[in-house]
Structure 1
């Protein structure tokens, strides 16, 4: 079972914003550029990069996607912080 993961994310307030970002990604938009433009998280300045983190370090719904969701494929997840578009890069 994976103990660490690395991911990019874009944090927005509304589901509609997250859905619009997912559509743009499906059409080939660059994740890092969308993160810099739309993310309300400080990681947006770094293209949405959260770096590597341990299992259990993030809030449970986010953690679940990072440790069980498909790699590289963008996912939408709701947490107490808002809506995240998450792209898991790898797990170790």
Structure 2
């Protein structure tokens, strides 16, 4: 019996865009929900889905961090502007 692990299963996930990972994850979930896959294939799909979900979360976490940084910068700029205006009073 040979190892039936699909080639490149988790290795290439790190190169996927958010949209590509999300679309593939939707496909994997659909295939798992439909059933009919042999046990080994189902396990490989599950593992792929876990890796894709983690990749999507990385993208979302990164976007959240960028948004928070932009908000901090905007808030700091606004506070600086208020301080400048308040000095004349």
Instruction: Return the TM-score normalized by structure 2.
Output: 0.26
Answer 1 or 2: higher relative contact order, Cα 8 Å, separation at least 6. 1
Bigger helix share: 2
Bigger strand share: 1
Question: Which structure has the bigger radius of gyration?
Answer: 2
